[in-house]
Structure 1
Amino acid sequence: MRLSRPARVVLAVLTGIILAVIYLPLIVVLINSFSTSTNLTWPPPGLTLEWWVKAFRNEGALDAIATSVQIAIVATLVSLVLGTLISLALQRFTFFGRDAVSLLVILPIALPGIITGIALNNAFRTIMGIQLSIATVIIAHATFCIVTVFNNVIARLRRVGTNLEEASADLGAGLWTTFRLVTFPQLRSALFAGGLLAFALSFDEIIVTTFTAGSSVKTLPIWILDNLFRPNQAPIVNVIAVVLVLVSIVPIYVAQRLAGAEKVTP
Structure 2
Amino acid sequence: MHLSRPARVALRVAACLGFAVVYVPLALVLLNSFSTDRSASWPPDGLTLHWWSVAWDNAGARSALWVSVKAGLGATAVAVVLGTLIAFAVARHRFFGRDTVSFVVVLPIALPGIVTGIALNSAFSTVLEPLGIGLGMFTVVVGHATFCIVVVFNNVVARLRRTSGSYEEAAMDLGAHTFRAFVDVTFPMVRSSLLAGALLAFALSFDEIVVTTFTAGPGVETLPIWIFNNMTRPQQAPVVNVLAAVLVLLSVIPIYIAQRLSADTAASSRV
Range of TM-score over shorter length: over 0.9
Query: Secondary structure of 1:218's match?
Result: coil
Deviations 1:201-249 (A, max 9, x none): 0000000000000121010000000110113101110001101101101
Equivalences, count:
266
> RMSD of aligned C-alpha atoms?
1.1
Percentage of identical aligned residues: 60
Which of these residues, 155, 165, 168, is aligned with residue 165 of structure 1?
168
Within the alignment, does 1:210 sit opposite 2:213 as a pair?
yes
CA distance in 2, matches of 1:260, 1:98: 28
- Which residue number in structure 2 is paired with residue 263 of structure 1? 266
TM normalised by structure 2 equals 0.95
CA distance in 2, matches of 1:187, 1:80: 12
Amino acid corresponding to residue 172 of structure 2 in structure 1 = A
Amino acid corresponding to residue 9 of structure 1 in structure 2 = V
Give the C-alpha shift of residue 163 in structure 1.
Answer: 1.2
Give the C-alpha shift of residue 17 in structure 1.
Answer: 0.4
CA distance in 2, matches of 1:120, 1:220: 21
- Which residue number in structure 2 is paired with residue 245 of structure 1? 248
Deviations 1:52-94 (A, max 9, x none): 1101111111111111111111111111111000001111111
- Deviation beyond 4 Å, 4+ runs, structure 1: none
Amino acid corresponding to residue 95 of structure 1 in structure 2 = F
CA distance in 2, matches of 1:126, 1:115: 17
Amino acid corresponding to residue 75 of structure 1 in structure 2 = A
Give the C-alpha shift of residue 259 in structure 1.
Answer: 1.3
Matches for 1:138-217 after TM superposition, within 5 Å: 138-217=141-220
CA distance in 2, matches of 1:53, 1:108: 39
- Which residue number in structure 2 is paired with residue 76 of structure 1? 76
Structure 1: segments with no counterpart, 5+ residues: none
Matches for 1:116-131 after TM superposition, within 5 Å: 116-129=116-129, 130-131=133-134
CA distance in 2, matches of 1:85, 1:262: 20
Within the alignment, does 1:135 sit opposite 2:135 as a pair?
no
Which is worse superposed, 59-68 or 37-46?
37-46
CA distance in 1, matches of 2:232, 2:106: 36
Give the C-alpha shift of residue 174 in structure 1.
Answer: 1.5
Within the alignment, does 1:235 sit opposite 2:228 as a pair?
no
Structure 2: segments with no counterpart, 5+ residues: none
CA distance in 2, matches of 1:230, 1:125: 32
Residues 39, 232 of structure 1: 8 Å contact kept: no
Amino acid corresponding to residue 135 of structure 2 in structure 1 = L
- Which residue number in structure 2 is paired with residue 220 of structure 1? 223
Give the C-alpha shift of residue 47 in structure 1.
Answer: 2.5
Residues 193, 265 of structure 2: 8 Å contact kept: no
TM normalised by structure 1 equals 0.97
CA distance in 1, matches of 2:49, 2:261: 35
CA distance in 2, matches of 1:126, 1:37: 48
- Which residue number in structure 2 is paired with residue 30 of structure 1? 30
Give the C-alpha shift of residue 140 in structure 1.
Answer: 0.5
Give the C-alpha shift of residue 255 in structure 1.
Answer: 0.8
CA distance in 2, matches of 1:43, 1:226: 26
